[in-house]
Amino acid sequence: MTQSSRTPRIENRRCRMVLEAPVETVNALGGATITFQPITTLWAQLEARGGTERDRGGRLEGTTDSRITIRWRGGIDARMRFTFGARVFAIRSSFDPDGRKRDLVCICEEITP
């Protein structure tokens, strides 16, 4: 049985990434602060897809798009993010590439803290 060229082999998952979920904390003035709490650490394959420049608030800002592939895991959505050392990747979308619940591909935007 051969593996699809789009499905990464397990030995290509060399990055230990932390999956984080947002947590909203209400302050004394009634406002809210969003922080991220680690959920789990996963082996992942990280692939750069390209970059773009955008005008954000009157200044040019560069962004890098990445593809992060992990073993199938349900419950991941666009509110979550991955961290890899000091690098932070906001999840923009996620999908099961072959519908067999073996892998989960997340299209992410690297954000600068």
What residue spans define the domains of the chain? 10-111
Residue 103 vs residues 8, 40, 78: alpha-carbon distances, Å: 9, 16, 17
Could you please state the CATH topology (level 3) that the domain comprising 10-111 is classified under: Thrombin, subunit H (2.40.10)
Q: How confident is the model at residue 3 (pLDDT cuts 50, 70, 90)?
A: very low
What was the pLDDT predicted at 4? 47
Provide the 10 A C-beta neighbour count for residue 100. Answer: 9
Contact 70, 39 (CB under 8 A): no
CB atoms within 10 A of CB 5: 6
Least confidently predicted of 7-11, 39-43, 58-62: 7-11
